[in-house]
């Protein structure tokens, strides 16, 4: 069987043209359109019906430099430098605003129960309200399900309100600014402004209670003493660990050990190569001695060995040369011959001892180098294991140092606050009162529409890629050659107006059938195949129709004598299709001899007995003498054993496959089965090919 296919250059990705991409997109255009429309409809339905508007209220707090942050300077220049150098004064105020205690008091003070919505005014409002209710019911049902199966904790109404307010509150401050910005985002209009105003009132009350206490200095003094002791203990533990494990500069020590380990690995590889060379020479030498050709043992050290070994090899070569020259004049039992053999044995034995000693020496050298490498590797592992604890101790020292510095700074601040307790002034003022924006917050509907279109195209691209990757159906002639490795005789375009309905082919379909018939006739002339079984991978491939019209073209164009054989059980029957042709083939009665002058083309309906191998083989031999080509219309090989028996008798098979129907994996298994039966596959015809692109688009992409 000939496997004909295009030669392709190697590469990770196949070459794809713009026409191929356009064909894929055009073939799956309705799926792409549906996905994009579903994305647009789903997104706009969520935006227009389900998603509600969110309103935001914003307030700004100015953190001024007051007596709480710095003691009175002695000069004006120092005070100006203090004012210009302070940065991030709002970090502490941000933490106060975000504190859980403050949010809990806010929830307890403000009524956050859902207010009754006013009834919708129109049909769209009613639809929107119903869609929101359904969405809320779905979310609540999903939350209940997650709570029941233990994937989500149960929250009381108060806890749920606290978490909702905590997520709605956004407090921010630029890194180099002393302005704190507080925002509250809420779905109901009018609520965020009231929430933010109440929060600020609670914040100022809470802040005043914090700065009025006089025990802050004592607290931070005790904390500083505790952190100082913890820092000293951490530093002592780090120093003790470094002394015990001899760690001074771990990174440099590790790099040095890695370099030494690399050099040791190189030495081990070199010693292993030398040992392998010595062992190879020893094996060659031993094999030469065991084979009785001791004079050939010198080749074992021709490219390896010391000066002494090379000298012994030379002596061995000289003795072997003398022994060979003496063989021409002396007999095997001559004393001189025995003496030369003894001399050769003695020299080869000495040479073997030298080589064995060299092998032992190089084995010991390899063992020493491996031991040195293992010691360095063990030392490196010990250092790496110690570095883990060393880093932990370093982190403990750093953490203790940060805690000490923090408490020391807080102690200084607390001492300043305590000193100015009576004359202290507030340093936080409201620069902007809570104000609610008139327009809702969120992405505009036009932007959401563009995002929906982009997302739809992305999803469509993913769907097209996955569909094409997992779609293994036979589509074109390239699939026949690349996946089935068969010769593609041609394709028959789908003609829905005439050919597919049982009429005569027209236009492009008629031209394609004539080209396939010409190719088949040339193939038969080259391969001397007189009988061909026409079959497919499954029923409904159009094998009968293609067989009849190919026979018509073989008779009309090439002037061949063609015999059509119809196997039993075919639907539609070949005789019925052939009867619609003009001229129709001459029917031959079963059991009648073909004669010396048969008709130009004829049709023979086989009975069940005629389709058996012992009856079909003689019938085909007789038909091959009377006709140029015998085409047997057979059922699919995979479903009917009679088709396989007919293929064994004919020896040639022509496959007819419909495009976009069977995957090429099934067809490949069918081809392997035919090949295993020693049946030659003449080629494959792709039937019912549907043009993927319109003619105008295909011409534009050429």
pTM: 0.51
Tell me the average pLDDT across 148-163: 85
Cα-based angle 288, 290, 292 (whole degrees, multiple of 5): 75
Structure confidence by residue, pLDDT tens digits, 171-195: 888 877 788 888 888 887 788 888 8
Q: What's the whole-number average pLDDT of the chain?
A: 77
pLDDT band at 7 (very low <50, low <70, confident <90, very high): very low
CB 476 within 8 A of CB 658: no
Q: What are the backbone dihedrals phi and psi of residue 655, each rounded to the nearest 5 degrees, phi first?
A: -85, 140
CA contacts within 13 A on the Cβ side of 363: 10
Question: Is 528 in a helix, a strand, or coil?
Answer: coil
**Same domain assignment for residues 327 and 377:** yes
> Is residue 450 situated within a structural domain?
no
Burial of 155 (0-12, 13-18, 19+ CB in 10 A): middle
**Same domain assignment for residues 580 and 653:** yes
Separation between Cα atoms, residue 190 and residue 502, nearest integer Å:
76
Helix residue ranges per DSSP H, 110-190: 123-148, 157-168
Query: Tokens 């119809």 belong to which residue?
Result: 566
Separation between Cα atoms, residue 417 and residue 220, nearest integer Å:
13
Tell me the CA distances in angstroms from 367 to 271, 305, 379, 596, one per residue in order: 9, 21, 18, 90
Tell me the average pLDDT across 155-164: 86
pLDDT: which is higher, 422 or 650? 650
**Same domain assignment for residues 92 and 203:** yes
**Same domain assignment for residues 688 and 620:** yes
pLDDT band at 33 (very low <50, low <70, confident <90, very high): very high
pLDDT band at 37 (very low <50, low <70, confident <90, very high): very high
CB 50 within 8 A of CB 132: yes
Token couple for 602: 């004829």
**Same domain assignment for residues 539 and 686:** yes
> Is residue 28 situated within a structural domain?
no
> Is residue 218 situated within a structural domain?
no
**Containing H/E element for 57?**
strand 55-63
Structure confidence by residue, pLDDT tens digits, 463-490: 988 888 888 888 778 788 888 888 888 8
pLDDT band at 462 (very low <50, low <70, confident <90, very high): very high
DSSP 563: E
Burial of 597 (0-12, 13-18, 19+ CB in 10 A): exposed
Token couple for 50: 């389900």
**Same domain assignment for residues 340 and 271:** yes
Which pLDDT does position 292 carry in this prediction? 56
Tell me the average pLDDT across 521-545: 78
pLDDT: which is higher, 331 or 412? 412
According to DSSP, the β-strands at 179-186 and 55-63 are antiparallel
Burial of 446 (0-12, 13-18, 19+ CB in 10 A): exposed
> b/e string for 115-151 if b means 16 or more Cβ within 10 A?
eeeeeeeeeeeeebeeeeeeeeeeeeeeeeeeeeeee
CB 481 within 8 A of CB 53: no
Which pLDDT does position 231 carry in this prediction? 85
**Same domain assignment for residues 413 and 425:** no
Cα 366 → chain centroid: 44
Number of domains into which the chain is organized: 3
**Same domain assignment for residues 398 and 520:** no
CB 64 within 8 A of CB 424: no
528: domain CATH number is 3.40.50.300
* Residue closest to 268 by CA, chosen among 347, 414, 375, 350: 375
Query: Tokens 């004829």 belong to which residue?
Result: 602
Which pLDDT does position 87 carry in this prediction? 47
According to DSSP, the β-strands at 488-493 and 680-689 are parallel
> Is residue 433 situated within a structural domain?
yes
pLDDT: which is higher, 113 or 154? 154
Burial of 672 (0-12, 13-18, 19+ CB in 10 A): exposed
Helix residue ranges per DSSP H, 155-215: 157-168, 191-212
Could you check whether the bond before residue 572 is cis, i.e. omega within 30 degrees of 0? yes
Tell me the CA distances in angstroms from 497 to 301, 493, 615, 654, one per residue in order: 86, 12, 41, 27
Separation between Cα atoms, residue 488 and residue 190, nearest integer Å:
75
Question: Is 633 in a helix, a strand, or coil?
Answer: strand
pLDDT band at 417 (very low <50, low <70, confident <90, very high): low
Which pLDDT does position 77 carry in this prediction? 39
> Is residue 15 situated within a structural domain?
no
Which pLDDT does position 529 carry in this prediction? 47
Structure confidence by residue, pLDDT tens digits, 634-680: 888 888 888 888 888 888 899 998 888 888 888 888 888 888 888 88
Q: Give all strands (DSSP E) within 406-456, no chain letters.
A: 428-436
Among the ranges 50-54, 417-421, 662-666, which has the highest mean pLDDT value?
Answer: 662-666
**Same domain assignment for residues 436 and 403:** no
Which pLDDT does position 35 carry in this prediction? 92
> Is residue 77 situated within a structural domain?
yes
Percent of the chain exceeding pLDDT 90 equals: 2
Q: Give all strands (DSSP E) within 454-523, no chain letters.
A: 488-493
Q: What are the backbone dihedrals phi and psi of residue 311, each rounded to the nearest 5 degrees, phi first?
A: -65, -45
**Same domain assignment for residues 381 and 427:** no
CB 528 within 8 A of CB 629: no
Domain range for 645: 477-700
3-state secondary structure 218-281: HHHHHHHHHHHHHHHHHHHHHHHHHHHHCCCCHHHHHHHHHHHHHHHHHHHHHHHHHHHHHHHH
Cα-based angle 690, 672, 629 (whole degrees, multiple of 5): 70
**Same domain assignment for residues 487 and 404:** no
Structure confidence by residue, pLDDT tens digits, 352-379: 777 777 778 888 888 888 888 888 888 8
Q: Which of 371, 401, 417 is the last residue of a domain?
A: 417
CB 597 within 8 A of CB 626: no
CB proximity list for 441: less than 8 A, separation 6 or greater? 53, 54, 55, 56, 185
Q: Which of 235-239, 319-323, 512-516, 620-624 has the lowest mean pLDDT?
A: 319-323
Give bridge partners of residue 680 from the DSSP assignment.
652
> Is residue 9 situated within a structural domain?
no
> Is residue 47 situated within a structural domain?
no
Structure confidence by residue, pLDDT tens digits, 64-110: 765 444 444 443 434 444 444 444 566 778 888 888 888 888 888 88
Percent of the chain exceeding pLDDT 70 equals: 76
**Same domain assignment for residues 412 and 425:** no
């Amino acid at each position: 069987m000939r496997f004909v296919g295009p030669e392709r250059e190697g590469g990770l990705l196949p070459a794809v043209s713009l026409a191929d991409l356009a064909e894929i997109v055009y073939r799956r255009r309705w799926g792409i359109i549906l996905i994009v429309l579903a994305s647009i409809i789903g997104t706009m339905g969520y935006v227009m019906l389900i998603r509600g508007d969110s309103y935001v209220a914003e307030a700004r707090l100015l953190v001024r430099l007051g007596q709480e942050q710095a003691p009175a300077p002695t000069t004006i220049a120092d005070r100006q430098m203090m004012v210009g150098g302070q940065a991030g004064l709002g970090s502490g105020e941000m933490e106060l605003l975000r504190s859980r205690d403050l949010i809990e008091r806010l929830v307890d003070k403000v009524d956050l129960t859902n207010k009754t919505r006013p009834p919708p005014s129109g049909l769209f409002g009613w639809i929107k309200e119903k869609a929101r209710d359904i969405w809320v019911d779905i979310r609540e049902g999903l939350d209940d399900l997650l709570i029941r199966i233990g994937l989500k904790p149960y929250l009381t109404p108060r806890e749920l309100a606290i978490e909702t307010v905590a997520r709605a509150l956004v407090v921010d401050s630029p890194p180099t600014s002393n302005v704190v910005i507080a925002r509250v985002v809420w779905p109901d209009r009018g609520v965020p402004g009231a929430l933010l105003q109440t929060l600020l009132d609670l914040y100022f009350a809470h802040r005043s209670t914090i700065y009025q206490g006089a025990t802050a200095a004592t607290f931070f003094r005790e904390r500083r003493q505790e952190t100082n002791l913890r820092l000293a203990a951490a530093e002592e533990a780090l120093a003790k660990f470094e002394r015990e494990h001899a760690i001074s500069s771990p990174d440099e020590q590790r790099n040095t050990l890695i370099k030494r380990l690399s050099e040791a690995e190189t030495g081990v590889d070199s010693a292993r190569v030398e040992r392998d060379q010595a062992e190879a020479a020893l094996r060659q030498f031993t094999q030469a001695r065991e084979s009785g050709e001791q004079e050939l043992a010198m080749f074992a050290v021709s490219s390896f060995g010391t000066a002494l070994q090379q000298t012994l090899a030379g002596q061995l070569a000289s003795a072997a040369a003398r022994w060979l020259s003496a063989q021409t004049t002396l007999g095997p039992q001559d004393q001189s011959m025995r003496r030369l053999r003894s001399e050769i044995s003695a020299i080869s034995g000495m040479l073997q001892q030298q080589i064995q000693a060299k092998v032992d020496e190089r084995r010991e050298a390899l063992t020493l180098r491996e031991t040195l490498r293992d010691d360095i590797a063990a030392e490196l592992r010990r250092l790496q294991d110690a570095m883990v604890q060393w880093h932990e101790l370093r982190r403990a020292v750093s953490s203790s140092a940060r805690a000490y510095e923090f408490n020391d700074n807080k102690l200084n601040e607390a001492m300043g606050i305590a000193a100015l307790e009576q004359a202290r002034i507030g340093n936080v003022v409201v620069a902007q009162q809570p104000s609610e924006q008139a327009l809702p917050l969120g992405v505009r509907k036009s932007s959401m529409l563009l995002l929906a279109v982009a997302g739809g195209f992305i999803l469509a691209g993913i769907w097209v890629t996955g569909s094409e990757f997992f779609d293994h159906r036979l589509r074109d002639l390239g699939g026949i050659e690349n996946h089935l490795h068969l010769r593609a005789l041609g394709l028959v375009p789908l003609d829905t107006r005439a050919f597919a309905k049982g009429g005569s082919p027209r236009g492009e379909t008629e031209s394609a059938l004539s080209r396939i018939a010409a190719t088949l006739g040339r193939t038969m002339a080259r391969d001397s195949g007189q009988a061909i079984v026409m079959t497919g991978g499954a029923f409904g491939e159009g094998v009968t129709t293609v067989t009849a019209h190919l026979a018509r073209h073989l008779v009309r164009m090439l002037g061949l004598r063609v015999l059509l054989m119809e196997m039993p059980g075919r639907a539609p029957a070949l005789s019925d299709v052939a009867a619609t042709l003009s001229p129709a083939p001459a029917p031959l009665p079963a059991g009648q001899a073909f004669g010396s002058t048969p008709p130009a083309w004829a049709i023979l309906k086989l009975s069940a007995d005629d389709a058996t191998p012992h009856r079909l083989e003689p019938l085909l031999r007789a038909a091959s003498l009377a006709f140029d080509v015998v085409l047997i219309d057979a059922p699919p090989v995979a479903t009917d054993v009679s088709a396989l028996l007919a293929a064994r008798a004919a020896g040639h098979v022509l496959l007819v496959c419909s495009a976009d129907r069977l995957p090429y994996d099934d067809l490949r298994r069918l081809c392997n089965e035919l090949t295993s039966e020693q049946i030659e596959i003449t080629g494959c015809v792709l039937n019912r090919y549907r043009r993927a692109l319109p003619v105008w688009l295909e011409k534009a992409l050429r």
